[in-house]
Amino acid sequence: MLDQILELYGLHVNDYKITEFGSGLINHTWKVCGAENYILQHINTGVFNNPEAIAQNVAMLQTYLKQTEPSYLFVGPVKAVSGGYMVKASDGGYYRLFPFIENSVTITEIKNQKEAFEAAQQFGKFTYLLKDFNLENLHYTLPQFHDLQLRFDQFKEACSTTNSNRLLIADDAIKEVYKHQDILFVYQQLLEHHKLPLRVIHHDTKISNVLFDKDHNGLCVIDLDTVMPGYYLSDVGDMLRTYLSPANEEERDFSRIEINEECFYAIYKGYLSAMGTALTTAEKEYFTFSGKYMIYMQAIRFLTDFLNGDVYYHTTYKQQNMIRAQNQLTLLKQFIKSEKRFKKFIQYFSFKHANVIN
């Protein structure tokens, strides 16, 4: 099948070697090595049920940035022989081919403040460069992906329909979700009063979606399937959720879940260095809230899936989604403990920066 795909891009199969690449959980990825190297990817249509929308979004963004910021490294797909940026195989699967950026590296976990700063700067830069892009042209590739109200409603529905055994196991976590319902109330107020502008948002800011050079300087962001209109809370919040603790969402030893406050400061400085002049006063005010918002929402999503019988997230052992939910609720508690110090830092940084400008 992969041989057929290469032919659709005008590549001779015998000239290339194909090997598995990366550790992504959604799409299947291979590296294609030859005179020129490529990344070949199969779109998971179980998650992205409209792959053509992804192709159209990426093509529009690529055209726009070529016109407005030609020096920006945009890793867009290669055109197929047909002229399209995505091909459909005989088995009905959708594929696309990307150039492999030589001398670039990706990482799977933050090791120092520099990496956090560089990643945050790249995600901020991406949104900043697209601040004047017409959002009406973008498709929602995952509608309501980060809609906390929707996720909370799904959680309540799951609580009412799950079996008694799962409800009993999840009892403490369910109570913890309701304990932090104030996060939902703030989110509701932000949307109701239109305090945050819609922007071009990446929506998946894990560290592996940033390309670095050999010295770990940020080059650009990649994996643009989830790029669509959204609120900056999503990108900043997901960085805070996934960068701040050395223990990821799969950690079962909750004592290892802690907050690296220096990493928070690096994310703030990095994002503001690229995006600061475009952020509204309200957006800056809710920078810290974004972390609570995304951690809380992910805890709810894991807990909901457990209550629903583990139908969305892949599991490898019993009660894994329950453990993931408890993990994120622990992270939320730790984040809240650091919140006052985060806000003091932001106030000091803003004051110092204002004085420098003046």
DSSP letters spanning 49-60: S-HHHHHHHHHH
What percent of the chain is predicted at pLDDT more than 70?
96
* pLDDT at res. 357: 47
Q: Is the pLDDT of residue 135 over 50?
A: yes
Residue 23, burial from CB neighbour count under 10 angstroms (0-12, 13-18, 19+): exposed
Least-confidence region, from 74-88, 137-151, 240-254: 74-88
**pLDDT tier for residue 23 given thresholds of 50, 70 and 90:** low
3-state secondary structure of 253: coil
3-state secondary structure of 79: coil
CATH superfamily, with its number, for domain 113-357:
Aminoglycoside phosphotransferase (APH), C-terminal lobe (3.90.1200.10)
Q: What CATH number does the domain located at 2-99 have?
A: 3.30.200.20
**pLDDT tier for residue 222 given thresholds of 50, 70 and 90:** very high
* pLDDT at res. 138: 96
For 130-181, where are the alpha helices, taking DSSP H only? 148-161, 164-169, 171-179
Q: Is the pLDDT of residue 25 over 80?
A: no
For residues 328, 212, 39, 62, the Cα torsion angle rounded to the nearest 10 degrees is 90
3-state secondary structure of 77: coil
pLDDT digits (tens, 9 = 90+) for 42-52: 887 777 778 88
Span 128-146, average pLDDT: 96
Across all residues in the chain, what is the average pLDDT?
A: 92
How is residue 168 written in tokens?
A: 């009993």
* pLDDT at res. 353: 65
**297 neighbors 151 (Cβ within 8 angstroms):** yes
Span 45-66, average pLDDT: 89
* pLDDT at res. 86: 86
Q: Is the pLDDT of residue 214 over 80?
A: yes
The pTM (predicted TM-score) of the whole model is 0.91
Span 92-108, average pLDDT: 90
**pLDDT tier for residue 358 given thresholds of 50, 70 and 90:** very low
Domain boundaries, given as residue ranges, for the chain: 2-99, 113-357
Instruction: Name the residue among 137, 44, 57, 148 with its Cα closest to residue 95.
Output: 44
Residue with tokens 């300087």: 217
Classify residue 105 by its DSSP letter. Answer: B
Q: Is the pLDDT of residue 244 over 90?
A: yes
Span 160-164, average pLDDT: 96
**43 neighbors 93 (Cβ within 8 angstroms):** yes
Instruction: Name the residue among 303, 291, 301 with its Cα closest to residue 332.
Output: 291
